[in-house]
Chain A
């Protein structure tokens, strides 16, 4: 077994419930690498909702809250407000975060509250057996879009950027090194950090959504179907880049280290009003 697993994972709970080749395990490992690199595991708590990706933190030897469908961010906000000095990492999926939890995502991003949200986007509801999600591409045939998905997929990175999230990155499971760095940076950043990870669900989405069902080929597809955004100096505070030649931009898409964070604003107001 991997030595970091032995340090950070409740090995008695293994194997994980993820299907063979699921991207969640890769993200699980990238996050523990980030915790290891930061060296502050005792100051980190994880919160997750419902869905396959929300099982990621349940195996960690950390304080973990496995909560209700869509509400992870709301739970995390309460926890953060109670313990402002700690770092809260939210693991969520595309359905959990953007569909049922959309309202909490919208408001947490607008508050720019210091949370790190890792959204695993596999374009499908995997746990329930392969139904369309808010990010399912147009035309994809799923269990609940048998004639092809007709809804415009939601670009969650664009959504949170437009609202005021101050660290927005997108990576894929085929970029584990960059993903680990993004998670570490997101945790270090004081503000709402949103990291979308394009992941694979070889079992429930497979050919219908990615055109491939072999995990390694889906990941190969992610490498080919994306381009790494290289901004010009100072260009990270604006809108996020658009797809080019049908390729999705990945990388650090938006970063505003000076954006005022929610808890800082609260403290400032309380000081200004003489309450504290």
Chain B
């Protein structure tokens, strides 16, 4: 994210609050939402902040209405966002498809919780990874960002608005309960953010906001550049579908963002996205003997772990493991090339996920010659560094 000259301040914020602050800084001036655990803090904070910033806020009657209202507001000229979790995100799928086909720039935050159905309202998961990409019926392209810290909740929210405007379409911020509810010290900006309007035009639908005399027709059917339906013409329809998919998939190099850590000499890589990247980073640091100054005070961690029935013992020696981390920040479009480059020199890739093992398939497809080991974990608890290192030990073995 480009940091401009606006005033920088350091604050301690919860992930959801950071997301709300990021939205206001990004220029979001309309929020519609419906309370749902664990994303409620976003709507709570924006119910005041949005109007203080001169924007509009409405608590809608459901998540469907919320997603629709932000699309309506965007055509009125306001950058708009909604935030939800689990079942609410499922309800929004039709509107996400509508935003994709009409090429409406909107941001939808999904603070993932355990599913399916009501599932585990207060616990975390990463089960919506494919729903974020393929949730709405039909074919379309979509950008999905996965924050793993409170700072990233802020930064990626800002980035989501920029990407939405640039590529004209919905952008999903795929957070989860862990990053949504944790508190960290972060840097935020105040003042008005300067945004330059995108140079290249990626939309093939009408894209002039309402009330500018353009007689814009926003049409949910497949349409031409005037908004007129083309659904009865197979060749034009096929070209339309390809265009709204490829404008994202073919520009993956402009969108993709992957962070690596200790990968220079690594034999084995942990590929993680979202909050699971946190214990993954810790595991790398532990194996490499790097002192971690970022984790919370020790007593807090121990207390939490004891409460969750986890006995964290780090007596095993992992120091011979040359582990690195590949953190995927833009989970969709899939950053295939960046991942291949980052994992070039490793033989084994561990993919920890708080789901039944989903994104690992995508990674195996991109890395056909590597040993890709899924490490799924369902139930609401995040992986511990020990679990990750033990798995690596199991896979790599003790050769020296």
Contacts and interface: CB of A to CB of B under 8 A. Distances in A.
B70 A78 contact: yes
Chain B at the A interface: mostly helix, strand, loop or mixed?
mixed
Range class of the B interface residue count: 35 or more
Nearest to A81: B56
Interface in B88-102: 94-95, 98
B214 to A, nearest CB: 7
B61 A75 contact: no
A79 B220 contact: no
Interface in A21-44: 42-43
Contacts of B251: none
A61 B217 CA distance: 9
Given A58-B219, A270-B51, A82 B72 contact: yes
A13 B358 CA distance: 46
Nearest to A42: B213
Given A66-B220, A67-B98, A275-B51, A107 B61 contact: yes
A64 B221 CA distance: 13
Contacts of B24: none
A106 interface: yes
Contacts of B51: 266, 270, 275-276
Given A42-B213, A71-B68, A270-B51, A65 B76 contact: no
A67 B220 contact: yes
Contacts, number: 122
A82 B31 CA distance: 10
A183 interface: no
Contacts of B148: none
A68 B52 CA distance: 31
A100 to B, nearest CB: 10
Interface string A41-65: 0110101001000000010011111
A62 B228 CA distance: 14
B215 A75 contact: no
A175 to B, nearest CB: 30
Given A78-B72, A82-B30, A104-B61, A66 B221 contact: yes
B216 A63 contact: yes
A66 B73 contact: no
Contact of A77 (B64, B72, B218): B72
Given A66-B219, A71-B64, A81 B58 contact: yes
A266 B65 CA distance: 19
Contacts of A61: 215
Interface string B358-396: 000000000000000000000000000000000000000
B75 A79 contact: yes
Closest 7 CB pairs of A and B: A82-B76, A78-B72, A78-B69, A74-B68, A75-B72, A78-B73, A79-B72
